[in-house]
A and B are shown apart, each in its own frame.
Chain A
């Protein structure tokens, strides 16, 4: 059974804190993604990675960074959390063209 695991289901952080969201996949996929989901805006791509140590900006990278030191792990970092980063964060792992992506269970982050 394939798995994408996000480190937390729910997080509450204070404004200005540095926040780490971790994602691990067991499918040996090259590609991993971070999205955020907000009402009426769908799934918006923050960052993605094609390979270890590779990263590409998505549509809304401002305020975020990522790290991919190992193939199975893709971390999203909020350098200084702000209230407008309160959202549902979703990690996905993808084997490539013409295949489905697998998602983690999501992290509901609240910044107060």
Chain B
């Protein structure tokens, strides 16, 4: 039973445009969410997080939005750069970290 879902396995975006990565969760008790970025042959690195008391958190080009009623969060990257090409995982923080299946983002020139 997948509690954290990323329904788009891949996304392709032109450099300079916006990338929007989506994530859905099933448990309304989840109250803290994180996004990680992963390059091939490396461990995931933390990108940005959001607490359920907020609906938006920004860090430079990265913004995470949380819609609690829809149990949905999204990561916006503006503007997208070729170096953003990676796999992105969303995660929910309970007594452990539960990850989604990931979305592979490709940013092309």
Residues of A within 8 A of B (CB): 4, 9, 31, 33, 35, 37, 40-45, 48, 56, 58, 90, 92, 94, 97-98, 100-106, 108
Contact = CB atoms under 8 A, between A and B. Distances in A.
Q: Which of under 10, 10 to 19, 20 to 34, or 35 or more describes the interface residues of B?
A: 20 to 34
Contacts of A42: 6, 89, 99-102
Given A42-B102, A45-B98, A98 B93 contact: yes
B9 interface: yes
Interface in B3-56: 6, 9, 32, 34, 36, 38, 41-46, 49, 51
Contacts of A58: 96
Nearest to B104: A39
What is the predominant secondary structure among interface residues of chain A facing chain B?
Answer: strand
Nearest to A105: B43
A35 to B, nearest CB: 7
A108 B41 CA distance: 8
A108 B36 CA distance: 19
Contacts of B100: 42
